[in-house]
Amino acid sequence: MPTQSLSTLLIITVCLAACQSTQQDYRATADIKPLLKDELFPSYHLFHVESEEDVFYLGEEAKRFAERSAYDNALNAKNVSGFVNAILDYSDNGMVYRNNANTVANTTFNNRAANCLSLSIMTFALAQHLGLDTTFYEVDIPEYWTRRDGFSLLNGHINLRVSAPETSMAITIGTTYADVDFDPQVIRSHFPRIPVSQKNVLAMFYNNKGADAFVANSYTRAYSYFRAAAKVAPTLQQTWTNLGVLYRMQGDFEQAQRTYEHALSLDPENLTVWENLAILYRYQNRREEAAELFSKIETKRKTNPFYHFILGEQSFEDGKFEKALSHYQRAVRLDRKNHEVLFGMAKTYFELGDTNNAVRYLKSAETYAPDDYSAERYSSKLAVLARR
């Protein structure tokens, strides 16, 4: 049995992912009523869940921004690349990145604070207002977790393609399409991607909102959002995994197992679902089954640097710095250019009193930072160390 496991809630807060979201077979029309348990959360209906119209709505200021960025009035033409560049400039100039800023399109535009999901939804809504074709894509990135308030959160990623309609009679300036991605690391890595529907993206938004509620211990609100996600996109696997975790937290182990098994019917290879099932087995005192599952999961994950990274984060939070360092070192051996792993090494060496290595890894983290904000963060920490 592994000495440490990830008590994961399959939720996406930095960016966004789907599991087998394009799958269309008998499971898409299966009766989901047995998998929902309203009686565990009798007041769920008291919590407002944004409608699809709410999520993609734009105010007049946002609409004018889109029109200014894309139209050449002299030529009565649409400029796809001009629109995309305006969006990227808007996000670069004054947009504050917040991984828990799960906001609707218009709020994202006005607040200038967002995560990848919120930015993608805003961009989709702006492009739709202009009559441009827009497609969401799920990017097939390796398993990657972040820590938040004691939970391990599985991250994913989406991006978009904006293009001029093929049937449009309007003139198009320059390129007819452009990809929009708010994570430069993903662009550089060229991971494969598959298209996902607007309904699935809406369900992902609901899952993110449910995740926020879950982490804040508002379980009824979380259920309200996860339930809405299940209704709008019943084949989105992450919803059922989230519901399974929620049922387990409420002590309904049978319903949790039933829901995990449904999630696995959608994607039998998803390790996070298997891990949550193994955690459930522990709660059910099925120790041998749990140990067997954990062993299989760990074997499959050992080549994933992010697995070792999150174990390092957990050990660091627990004050076990030597153990944290060991996990970070394994992650670095698998990926020597990940800024978060390098920062993990730096902060652990600092706690262990090794300032030289702390500075060394902070400089490496700064070198491989994906954006100016992260680079400045590491630079400021280096400045503090230099004054010691």
Residues 40 and 102 in one domain: yes
Residue matched to tokens 């519901």: 243
> Which residue type occupies 101?
A
Last residue of a domain, one of 286, 301, 316: 301
Distance CA 258, CA 340 (A): 36
Q: In angstroms, what CA-CA distances link 225 with 71, 238, 260, 308, 365?
A: 38, 12, 18, 31, 37
pLDDT in tens, 180-221: 887 755 554 556 889 999 999 999 999 999 988 998 999 999
* Distances, alpha carbon 373 to alpha carbons 94, 99, 107, 162, in Å: 11, 14, 22, 27
Check if the beta carbon of residue 343 is closer than 8 Å to that of residue 378.
Answer: yes
pLDDT score recorded for residue 287? 96
pLDDT number for residue 22: 35
Of 283, 301, 319, which residue constitutes the final position of a domain?
301
What is the model's pLDDT at position 166?
72
- Total domains present in the chain: 2
Parts of the chain with a pLDDT under 70: 1-30, 71-78, 91-97, 99, 144-150, 167-175, 184-191
Looking at residue 265, what is its pLDDT? 95
CA distance 353 to 356: 9
Q: Residue 363's domain spans which residues?
A: 305-386
Half-sphere exposure of 55 (CA within 13 A, CB side): 23
The reply to whether 268 and 325 lie within a common domain is no
Query: Are 91 and 148 members of one domain?
Result: yes
Q: What is the pLDDT of residues 48-78, one digit of tens each?
A: 999 999 999 999 999 999 888 876 543 344 6
Q: How far is CA 97 from CA 118, 287, 290, 373, in A?
A: 10, 42, 38, 9
Are 288 and 236 in a shared domain?
yes
**pTM higher than the cut 0.95:** no
310 and 289 in a common domain: no
Q: Are residues 309 and 297 in the same domain?
A: no
- Find the CATH number of the domain harbouring 337: 1.25.40.10
Tell which of 301, 326, 349 closes a domain: 301
The reported pLDDT for the residue numbered 387 is 82
Check: CB of residue 144 under 8 Å from CB of residue 50: no
**Burial class of residue 136, CB neighbours in 10 A (0-12, 13-18, 19+):** buried
- Residue tagged 């200014």 (tokens): 68
